[in-house]
Amino acid sequence: MKSSNENNSANENRCGFVAFVGRPNVGKSTLLNHLLGQKLSITSRKPQTTRHRIMGIDTFESTQLIYVDTPGIHKKEPRAINRLMNRAASSTISDVDVVVFIVEPERWTEDDELVLEHIKKTDKPIILFVNKIDQIKEKEKLLPFLQTLSAKHTFQELIPGAALVGDQVKELKELLITYMPKGDFVYPEDYYTDRSERFLAAEIIREKLIRQLGDELPYSMTVEIEQFKIDENGTLRINGLILVERSSQKSIVIGKGGSRLKKVGTDARIDMANVFDQKIFLELWVKVKDGWADDERALRSLGFDEHSD
């Protein structure tokens, strides 16, 4: 791909890829958003919120850091969607310049061990970021836990921090720069993601659904954008189709008298207006599509492809 800085020598610039990997719900997307200084990946307290591989492009001075936010790697693969999410995360590891392995303090699970098994196979530098240390009540327990982690693998660096409040995030960024190879930028300087606006719109809707539904959330749910165009008045008109697997899930998403779907639409429209910087007209529908989360062909048509960019 042609560089956006053709007038600059490759020796003056640094550019490289950074993969964020970890089990579900350790804060990968929160870390990405904080490093970028803007919201790109959707977040919630629910595991497996991130389903796709998403790139965040951070260009400043003579450096371009390309962060790759991956779905959480997890041991159980009950459905095709879980298998594709795992493949998307695993395939990323070999394609980057440095790996940031994110874990939570005082907690090591089978899924953490699975992630470690994957990244041990790479010859790339691995930085261990112990996230959410602001939630530790007994700080004296942190050092023994860090020592336990250090014994599991020879990490290039070990950084305790808290992505949500920005603790040690700046330090992590400065460290990542030192691992970037010299070379021209891959993306133009004004890019902040490789994803389309249609994709971002679908993710915004899905985030609002996750936050509205709470424990009622049907995990076998996705969003497809059927229309995304600017009308003659300059309004961006978006039609979103919410796919669920059963009629009972459809009722949950719509809510009593359509109240829940209306709330999702209102919240999504506000976020979209900020992200796309224009007036938004948003319409949402809910449709039952049985078995979509178990059908790899259907999943790929919806953008669930471990090789997609």
- What per-residue confidence (pLDDT) applies to 167? 95
Per the structure, the complete domain to which residue 150 belongs is given by 10-178
- Two structure tokens written together for 56: 């965040």
Q: Is residue 155 part of a domain?
A: yes
Domain with residue 33: its CATH number is 3.40.50.300
What's the pLDDT tens digit per position in 181-226? 999 999 999 998 888 899 899 989 988 988 888 766 555 678 889 9
pTM: 0.71
Percent of the chain with pLDDT strictly greater than 70 = 77
* Strands of 280-288's sheet in order across: 222-230, 236-244, 280-288
Residue 298 pLDDT class (50, 70, 90 cuts): low
Query: Do residue 152 and residue 205 come from a single domain?
Result: no
End-to-end CA distance of the chain: 14
Query: Do residue 34 and residue 174 come from a single domain?
Result: yes
- What per-residue confidence (pLDDT) applies to 248? 86
Q: Is residue 5 part of a domain?
A: no
CB 248 within 8 A of CB 288: no
Return the HEC string of 178-222.
Answer: HCCCECCCCCCCCCCECCCHHHHHHHHHHHHHHHHHHHHCCCCCE
Query: Do residue 153 and residue 216 come from a single domain?
Result: no
Q: Which helix (H) or strand (E) holds 68?
A: strand 63-69
Count of domains observed in the chain: 2
What's the pLDDT tens digit per position in 247-285? 888 999 999 999 999 999 999 999 999 889 999 999 999
* Among 146, 178, 210, residue at a domain's last position: 178
Mean pLDDT of the chain: 82
